[in-house]
Structures are given as C-alpha cells and as structure tokens.
Chains A and B, each alone.
Chain A
Amino acid sequence: MTISGLGPHGERAAPPERVSLLPDDRAAAQEAAWRVAVVLHTVDSDWAKQQLAGMVGIFGDCGAAVIDVVDCGFSPERQVAALDRLIAQRPDAILSLPVANEEVAAAHARVAAAGITLVLLDNAPTGLLPGKHYTALVSADNFGLGKIAAAGLSAHLAQGAAVGVLGFAADFFATNEREIAFTKWLQTNRADLDLHVARFDRMDEAAEVSKRMVAEHPALAGLFVVWDTPAMAVSDWLRHAGRSLPIATVDLGEAAAIDMARGGSTCCIAAQQPYQQGIAAAQTVILSLLARPVPAWIALPGISVTRDTVVESFQKVWRQPAPKEVLRLLGLSG
C-alpha cells in the first residue's frame, strides 16, 4: 500500500519498517532504563487508547518506564503547561501530539532546547524542524485517508449532489491534510458535485455546525467528517432528527463500527492503524535515544472500511475481535 501524502516539510514518507528494533537495540535500551513521558490530545478516544497500548508495550519490552501520560483535553494552554512541567522532571524523551500550531510551537521547542528527545505524533507545528527540534514525526498517511473517504462517499452520491465537509478549525496537520485530500479527490473525480465546507472549533460543536449546514443546504446528500468521534455526534442527531445521510469519516472507533454494522449513516471509514502507529512511535523514541538515524516522517497507510469489511478491518486495526454488537448486527453471532 502506498503513501500518497507528503510530510509537513514536503518529506517523502518512510515505512514503519525503517524503525524496526533489533535484539541489540532492545538490549541496549534495557540497560539504559530510560524514562519517557507521553503527551496526548486526549486519552478518551479509541484511537488514543490503541495508540497508547501499542507504545506502552514496546516501552515495556525495552525497559523504558512511562512516567506520565498527559491528557491535554485538546487545550493548547494545558499542553504548554504540561510540557513545561515535564521539562522540569527531566525525562529522557517525550512523545507528544501537538494539539495546535503556533500556540504550542515554542513549548515544544523548549523540550528540545532542554536536551530532551522529542518525537511528534500526527502534527508538526510550523517552524519546528526534524533533526533540530524533534527527531521524527510519526503519523498516518492523512492525505491518503482523505482520498479513501472521498472515494467511499462518492459511491453513495448521485450526479450533481451537494456534499458537506465538516472540518476541524484548529490548524492541525492531520486534519488539514484529510480535508484538502478529500476535496481534491472529489474535484478531480466528481466535478459534478457541489461542495460546502464548515468547521468546528470543539468536538461538542460538531453536531451543531452540521445542523446549521443541513439547514442552509437542505439538498445535502452526504457528509465528510474529519474523524469518527464528531462524526458519531453528527450521526446521532441525524438519527434523532429522522434524517438519513451517508457519512464518510476517519478512524474505526467502536461506535463507528457499530453504526456501520447497524446500517446507520456511516457508510465509509478510512481507518488509521493506531496500534501499529503506537508501536512505530515508541520504536522511533528508542532508536532516537540510541542516537540511531531515524527518518523525518514515518507514515502508516490507511485502510478502506465498508460494512462488508468492518469485522476483519476491526481485527486488523484493533488486534482484537470485533465488538459483539457488531457481530450480532451482521448476523455473525447470536
């Protein structure tokens, strides 16, 4: 599977195999007994839980202690405070998902200036450079995810239909790439469609923004929501309003999988591989601490998920069986 996007500085993607650990690497890491902190946008989402599970396992294998897992609650202020607090605790490395662009750039630069190894997840604030401020960025191929979602939704749209794009207002590499790729794919392959874009600042605004969009464009025939949690909020209000509108989104969370299996609004999911991404991120931290060269951008391809493939996709992404509810809804169990 190929990577279709470019990195935040135009880098070509390196596959996760490039950061595989050899037995010697694990042995050296165990001897060093490093202390690592993880700073996430949230710890509540399925994506974050999977990511954490992947990375914590690798750190365990390598004898590295995870001394803190910070939940920033999507707040730049909280993230800046957390990074400054962690700098004072002098961990050997910090794995951070920058929740914004300019607002958190200086705090991340302070981590590097303090001599702490920094590996980024999903977003690189403008002005921060690999090799100088951070060693590597590990993310999904978000441009590819946007294309998968567009191709999936396109199959549900009649000629000349109106499509809504529900983006994230924060200047964030991952969601920017998805939105740009989604619209580019439709404009290239479905020039007949009529696109309308709106963005939400906070997740709890997503349903409200989509209500306004539907009110202003009653002919709307499909929606793209940039990730699954707000997509489920939109799907819920549509169901309560008695509306049926196909939704394409990113991330195979449990609720999205159930909605898809039920035959709800979710018609197409471009799934990331958060568990595998967590593994790649932790391996990148270990290699960086061992002073081994790492690629500037390590990217994992997305997976196209439909109702027909939701069970095996769930197993692939989550590395565990699909939820019983999904199996029941698909008639695969009692």
Chain B
Amino acid sequence: MPPLASVPAESQRPRGKGRPRTVETAAPSLVELLNLVRTEAATTRQELERHSDLGRAVVADRLTLLGELGLVDESELGTATGGRAPRLVRFAARRATILVATLDQTAIGVGVADLSGNLLTEHHEAADLTTPPAALTDRLAALFRWSLERHAAPQGVWGLSLSVPGAVQTGAEGAFLTTTPPIMPAWDGFPLVETLSRRFGVPVWLRSSVETMTMGELHAGAGLGQRTMLFMKVGRRIGAGIVCDGQLFRGAQGAAGLIGSLPVTSGGQSGTLDALAGSDMIQREGLAAAHDGRSAILADIQRRGGEITAIEVAQAAQMGDAASVAILATSGHLIGQVVATLANALNPDLIVLSGSLVQTNDILLAAVREAVYGASHPLVTRDLRIIRSQMGSSAGLVGAARVASEALFAPAFLKEWVMQGRPLAHPAFVDYLGQLARTAPPDPAPPLPPALGPGPSLRPGKEPLS
C-alpha cells in the first residue's frame, strides 16, 4: 500500500479544462461508497453500482481513490457464479484502531477495537470509582498504552470512546466532544475529555454504561439482528437501554431508560427501584441475614473473615441458601414489575438482563420472568424472550467501539476528512487540538507515537504501566 503522502493533494491533481475539482464533487460519492463497503451492504463493484446508482466509471474512480487512501482493499476474490470470480471490496478495518474503556463503580475495562468496532483485545480489573479522577485517568492511559503495544495499526489510533456510569447529556456536542459533560458529581470539574484528547491526540466520545452495553449486545451479542430490544443493567443502579427499529433510543437529553429512580413499594416500604432492588439493598439484607442466623452460608463467609457483598448473596442464593434466595427474588420481582411496564409500552422481541448479579445466579432472572409474564398483555409475551447477557462487561467495550466507529464514519463528519484519508486531519479536530495545546497545561505523560511498530520492544525508563 503506498504511503498516504503519495496520494496527490487535490489541488495538485491534473484535471481537464473546465472540470470541477474532484474534491468538490467526489466527497459525497466517496462517503456513500465507503459506508456501503464498511457496513457490508455491498461487497463487489457490481453491488456498489446497484446500491449507489453511480456509474461504473465513477465507482471505479472512487474505489481507486479509496484504495490509494488505504480505506478499502480489493485484493481478495469472491466466489464465482458462472463467470470470472468477482473482486471483493473490503473495508480496511485494521488500518487504525479505536481505544475503548468502561468505568464502573467497582471495575474498569480497556480494549482496542478495529475501525468496524470489533474488539481485538480487552482487559478488566477491579477499581474504585471514588479514586481521584486524575489517578484513574492515568491508570486508563497506562492500560491503553500497554494494549497498543500488542495491537498497533499502520495509522495508529483514530478515536477513543468511554462508557461511564451516569447518563451523558446529548445536545451541544458536535461530531466529537470538545468539553467534558457532567458525568458523576465526584468528577465535576475534571477535564476527562480534554485530558484524553490531548494525551492520545484523538477525538473522544462518552456514553452511559447502559447505552454502550445495549449497543454491544445489539451488535455482537444476543441482540444481533433484533429490531426491538430492551436491555436491563442490574447493579447498584438499575437502568434500561431501549432499541427501536434497530437503533439505540437516547431520548431528548440522553436520559432514556433511567428507570432506577421510579418509585416502587416492597413489604410496606416505598422507595426508588435502585434503593429497594439494587445491589446495595441485596448487600444490606445479606448482612442482616448473616447476623440474625437466617443464612448459614453468609454467616460462614463472615466467620472466615470474608466480605459480604451483593455478589456473595447472589452466589449463596445459587447454592440454595433460602434467605439469599428470598432477597434475590424480592429484587427480581420489583425489577420485573417495572420491566413489565416497559415491555407493554415497547413490545420488544427480546429482553436481556445484565450485570454481575444476574451472571452469578438464576433466581433474579427467574423472578423477573415471572413478574413480566404475569403482568404483560398476552400478545406482548407471545414471542418474547427474556435472557441473561453472555457478554459480561465486554458488552460495554464493544458498544463503546461502535459509538466511535459510527461517529467517525457518520456522513457529515466523514465528508470533511475522507479526502485526507484520516479523521485526525478533519479541520475541526485540528483546530480543537490546537486550541487544547494553547490552553491546557503541559501533559506529564509521554506522547503516543502515531503508529507503533510491531512486536515487543524494550521500553526505556519508567512509564505509568509500562
């Protein structure tokens, strides 16, 4: 593949007298063709002509240019159906990478994805979200650098997408974030987006964990091919991700699905769904059951110096501990009542439950199923499947990668960078980086090389993770 510099700048290309410059006319067709190839809606020149209504010569010309820019690859042959085997047109998804991360209350995850949003590697570790944001951001950056040593791409990194615990407001943001929206009270005032943009030199996107997990489940999990899906994340907070017509529904402010604040009643007590069914309640009730002798298993864990969290209660329930089963069933019924309301409003094909509590036992899932089937219109439940996610925290990473991938190749954004062959040359992003360099304090971390060489290497000195 020729280096990018060998593609002549548009102003230097020879052109016929009176013909408009290709840059003035080619970008829309390049955008259309690239996205047809990227989404695999078309995989041969013939299919591209058919789907785009562009003539053979124009398709050939644009594909040549996209090939020179390194964005498509035509080296592979397809299956012959009577004549010569067609040449396949493939999106060069490995040309660059996307960095992704999830921030949860008790864990962080990092990954590297290709430009199609497929994860190439991932790592998860325990973390405390009450750690100062600067320290946690340093840890993320260190893990990103470590991951990139194993998964370098010819064009380096093109974007960074984060999944965060709270809702992320929609609104004034452009194609990428230029300031950090409010995420969590403890992080107010910390320039997360600006820090990461400056440190890695790439555009940054943020979404709530429920949104990214929903996206991940939709594109790589049980939701694959589904048009209407409800995704439920059950943890300390309980949230819903809503998929309508195959698209994530974010709502007017990016706050769709914040069902944890809905009022519910349980055993004569009233409170929010988060408070009466979330993991704090499960932990609290589990501790009480250990103390008052109702749960021998939980009491035994304590006697051995172990900590009782909601996970231990869920595991005890799975082992048949009656008190823990009752706690999980109470939580499941309350969640099920709210899910039933949503199911009756949306009529989904599929409801997916996710979160550590759901992964570790069957009681919660069974209780939710019972409540939903008992409280829904027969037509709503006729073909409805209620299942547990198989993706774990990977869903958040995959979903974050899809957020960045869709943003990078959104027609309005892509149009402005496609002729340069890389989004980092987008005029608005170049301006933004310049602005950051003028206003932000110097970054103590070493800058990331644009493209890392393959294979292991000795790294001089001490880096954050190294």
Q: Interface on A for B, CB 8 Å cutoff?
A: 2, 4-12, 14, 18, 101-102, 126-127, 129-132, 143, 165, 167, 169, 171, 176-177, 180, 183-184, 187, 193-201, 212-213, 216, 293, 295-296
Report A124 CB to chain B, min CB distance, Å: 10
Docked CA distance A101–B463 (Å)? 26
> Would A10 and B393 be within 8 Å (CB), given that A197-B466, A200-B456 are in contact?
yes
The list of the 6 closest CB pairs from A to B, nearest first, reads A10-B393, A199-B456, A9-B392, A10-B124, A131-B390, A6-B124
Report B11 CB to chain A, min CB distance, Å: 41
Docked CA distance A197–B456 (Å)? 9
Contact pattern, B 147-173, Cβ under 8 Å of A = 1, otherwise 0: 000110000000000000000000000
Q: Chain A residues with Cβ under 8 A from B311's Cβ?
A: 12
Report A74 CB to chain B, min CB distance, Å: 16
Q: Chain A residues with Cβ under 8 A from B392's Cβ?
A: 7, 9-11, 130, 296
Task: Tell me the nearest residue of chain B to A130, going by C-beta.
Answer: B390
> Which of A18, A183, A198 lies in contact with B465, CB distance below 8 A?
A183
Report A163 CB to chain B, min CB distance, Å: 10
B97 at interface by CB-CB < 8 Å: no
Interface size on B, residues (CB 8 A): 45
B446 at interface by CB-CB < 8 Å: no
The answer to whether B394 and A169 touch across the interface, beta carbons within 8 angstroms, is no
Q: Chain B residues with Cβ under 8 A from A6's Cβ?
A: 107, 124-126, 393
> Would A296 and B143 be within 8 Å (CB), given that A6-B107, A10-B109 are in contact?
no
B408 at interface by CB-CB < 8 Å: no
The answer to whether A180 and B123 touch across the interface, beta carbons within 8 angstroms, is yes
> Which of A12, A102, A216 lies in contact with B360, CB distance below 8 A?
A12
Q: Chain B residues with Cβ under 8 A from A200's Cβ?
A: 456
> Which of B220, B360, B462 lies in contact with A194, CB distance below 8 A?
B462
Docked CA distance A7–B359 (Å)? 12
The answer to whether B458 and A197 touch across the interface, beta carbons within 8 angstroms, is yes
Task: Tell me the nearest residue of chain A to B466, going by C-beta.
Answer: A195
Can you offer 28 A-B residue contacts whose CB atoms are under 8 A? A6-B124, A6-B393, A7-B124, A8-B122, A10-B107, A10-B394, A11-B356, A11-B393, A12-B356, A18-B319, A126-B119, A126-B121, A127-B118, A129-B391, A169-B455, A169-B456, A180-B146, A180-B465, A184-B125, A184-B465, A195-B462, A198-B456, A198-B458, A200-B456, A201-B455, A201-B456, A296-B359, A296-B392
The answer to whether A143 and B125 touch across the interface, beta carbons within 8 angstroms, is yes
Q: Chain A residues with Cβ under 8 A from B146's Cβ?
A: 180
Docked CA distance A212–B391 (Å)? 41
The answer to whether B360 and A14 touch across the interface, beta carbons within 8 angstroms, is yes
> Which of A7, A18, A102, A198 lies in contact with B120, CB distance below 8 A?
A102
Known contacts A6-B107, A8-B122, A126-B120, then 6 further A-B pairs from the complex at CB < 8 Å, ordered by chain A residue? A5-B125, A14-B360, A18-B318, A183-B466, A184-B465, A187-B464
Q: Chain B residues with Cβ under 8 A from A7's Cβ?
A: 124, 392
Q: Chain B residues with Cβ under 8 A from A18's Cβ?
A: 315, 318-319
The answer to whether A132 and B390 touch across the interface, beta carbons within 8 angstroms, is yes
B19 at interface by CB-CB < 8 Å: no
Task: Tell me the nearest residue of chain B to A133, going by C-beta.
Answer: B390
Report B183 CB to chain A, min CB distance, Å: 20
Q: Chain B residues with Cβ under 8 A from A165's Cβ?
A: 466
The answer to whether B143 and A180 touch across the interface, beta carbons within 8 angstroms, is yes
The answer to whether A9 and B121 touch across the interface, beta carbons within 8 angstroms, is no
B221 at interface by CB-CB < 8 Å: yes
B17 at interface by CB-CB < 8 Å: no
> Which of B143, B306, B394 lies in contact with A129, CB distance below 8 A?
B394
The answer to whether A9 and B391 touch across the interface, beta carbons within 8 angstroms, is yes
The answer to whether B390 and A293 touch across the interface, beta carbons within 8 angstroms, is no
Docked CA distance A12–B355 (Å)? 10
Docked CA distance A201–B461 (Å)? 22
